[in-house]
Amino acid sequence: MPELPEVESAKRSLQRVIRGKVIASVEVRSPSAVRTHRPQAFADALAGKRIERVSRRGKTLLFQLSGGWTLIFHFKLWGTLRFVRPAVPPDAQTAVVIAFSDGSSLHFRELQLSELGLHRTPQLDRVAYLASLGVDPLSPTFTPARFRQMLAGRGSIRALLTDQERIAGIGNLWAHEILHAARIRPDRPASSLTPAETRVLHRSIRSVLRRAIAAGGEPEFVDAAGRMGRWRLAVYGRAGQRCPRGDGTIKEARLGGRPSFYCPACQH
Ligand SMILES: [Zn+2]
C-alpha cells in the first residue's frame, strides 16, 4: 500500500512532466474507479483543463486544474500511475487514461479499491477523507511538543504512527522502518515512551521519511516514470533475517490484527 514516501515520489515524478499540460480527452475504462461522476460527465468536466499543480495530502495525490477544479487520487491498497509518451496503448490493468494535447498521456493502473474524484478546489476541505487527516509529519507544524502531546492516549506506538487522523501518511510499512531506526518496539504503549525516546522517535520519523522519498520509496513501488523504489527494508517483511545492525534476527508478531516486525536485540 503506497504511503507518504511513495505518494510523494509519485508526485515529484509527475510534477516534472505533466505540469502545464492541457487535457485533451479522458477515457474511463473502469467506471467504478471514479466515485464522484459518471464516466461521460467526468470526461466532459476534465476536457480542456490545464494541470496547474500536483500536490499531496497524507497518502492522497491532488491535481489542481484550471477552472477551479481538483482531481483527487486516493491510493488505497495499490495503484500505479504511468506517464507515457505517444503510441503506448493502455493495457488491461488500465482503469483511466488522461490524454494531453501534446500526445502524451497519464495512465491510472491497477486501481484495487483506489479512488478518483473530481471536486471544486474551494470546497476541498469538505471532502470527508481530507478533512479528517491529521498533521503531515514533514510539515513545520509537526513539532516535538505536538508529537509529545499525541503520546498521552491509549494504544501502541505503532497504532499512533499509523493513525491518519493524528499523523497523515505513515502506514504499516514505514511505521516499522521508523521504529527500527528509533530502536523502539512497535508494541510499546505510546504513553510509556521516555522524553529521550520521544525526541529520538520524532527525529527518526522525519529522517526516515525524507530518506525514503530520496530513495523513491519501498522496493515494490514504481513511480510515474517507471522507476522502482530503492529503499532497503530494515525490518518490514524480513522475519527470520538478520537485523541490518548485525545484532539479532527480525521477529514477526501480530499487533492489532496486522503483521508487525522488529529486532528484539536493538528495539526496546
Ligand atoms: Zn537489531
Whether residue 59 lies in the annotated active site: yes
The per-residue pLDDT for range 220-261, each reduced to its tens digit, is 998 888 899 999 999 999 999 999 999 999 999 999 999 999
**What CATH number does the domain located at 4-131 have?**
3.20.190.10
Whether residue 76 lies in the annotated active site: no
Whether residue 3 lies in the annotated active site: yes
Alpha helices (runs of H) in 72-153, residue ranges in sequence order: 128-131, 144-150
The active-site residue out of 56, 59, 82, 185 is: 59
pLDDT at position 113: 67
| pLDDT score of 69 more than 80 | yes
Please give the CATH architecture assigned to the domain spanning 144-262: Orthogonal Bundle (1.10)
User: CA 221, CA 11: separation in Å to the nearest integer?
Assistant: 13
The full length of the chain comes to 268
Q: Cβ(70)–Cβ(124) under 8 Å?
A: yes
> SS3 helix, strand, coil % of the chain, rounded to 5?
30, 25, 45
The active-site residue out of 2, 5, 137, 186 is: 2
Whether residue 166 lies in the annotated active site: no
Residue ranges matching CATH 1.10.8.50 in the chain: 144-262
Q: Say how many Å lie between the first and final Cα of the chain, rounded.
A: 27
The per-residue pLDDT for range 158-215, each reduced to its tens digit, is 999 999 999 999 999 999 999 999 999 999 999 999 999 999 999 999 999 999 999 9
The active-site residue out of 85, 120, 230, 258 is: 258
Query: Is this model's pTM higher than 0.85 or not?
Result: yes
Residue ranges matching CATH 3.20.190.10 in the chain: 4-131
User: CA 226, CA 241: separation in Å to the nearest integer?
Assistant: 29
> Can you read off the three cell numbers belonging to residue 65?
486544474
Q: pLDDT above 70 covers what percent of the chain? A: 98
